[in-house]
């Protein structure tokens, strides 16, 4: 439901010449639809869908071991602190392992029509690896971690506390 709006948001985030207004958002969505059809509104969303399952699986798989390790190695931490740090670690771990899909989503969504640099995920990965390096698949990871660490820590600690 929100994927078309997410695509337009990324286009605004990556193009400093775009000035935001609701009218411009509407015309951008209309232009995407006219140039690329219905599927164009979801360009880059496949990577989001491919990322969600492994991201969640990794987060929930490593949370309990991180929590157990913290309880053993940092006995002064209370339950909320343990859940926060374990949750932050779980989010960071999942983000690092699935980040290339997040980066691909942004790059695929950022461009419209003929200006699109990639015609699919396989082409995008090979092009990025060849022209920029394999490490470019993790470009932007650090600022992403700055956001996910507190978010994931708060999410896990609040959920555990309310539960």
User: pLDDT of 54-111, one tens digit each?
Assistant: 999 999 999 999 999 999 999 999 999 999 999 999 999 999 999 999 888 888 888 7
Residue 14 has pLDDT above 90, yes or no: no
Q: What is the DSSP letter of 111?
A: -
Nearest to 53 by CA among 97, 107, 108: 97
Q: Tokens in use for 142?
A: 């650090």
pLDDT tens-digit map of 141-154: 999 999 999 999 99
Q: What is the chain's mean pLDDT, rounded? A: 90
3-state secondary structure of 41: helix
Mean of the pLDDT values across residues 128-135? 93
Domains and CATH numbers, the chain: 2-12+21-42 (no CATH), 45-162 (1.50.40.10)
The three-point CA angle 115-100-142 to 5° equals 105
């Amino acid at each position: 439901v929100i994927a078309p709006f997410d695509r337009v948001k990324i286009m605004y985030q990556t193009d400093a010449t775009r000035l935001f207004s609701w009218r411009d958002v509407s015309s951008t969505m209309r232009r995407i639809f006219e140039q690329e059809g219905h599927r164009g509104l979801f360009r880059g969303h496949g990577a989001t869908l491919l990322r969600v399952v492994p991201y969640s699986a990794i987060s929930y798989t490593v949370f309990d071991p991180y929590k157990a390790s913290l309880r053993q190695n940092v006995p002064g931490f209370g339950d909320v602190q343990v859940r926060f740090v374990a949750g932050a670690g779980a989010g960071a771990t999942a983000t690092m392992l699935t980040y290339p899909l997040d980066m691909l989503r942004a790059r695929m969504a950022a461009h419209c029509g003929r200006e699109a640099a990639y015609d699919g995920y396989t082409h995008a990965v090979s092009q990025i690896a060849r022209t920029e390096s394999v490490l470019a698949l993790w470009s932007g990871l650090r600022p992403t971690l700055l956001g996910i660490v507190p978010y994931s820590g708060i999410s896990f600690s609040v959920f555990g506390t309310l539960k």
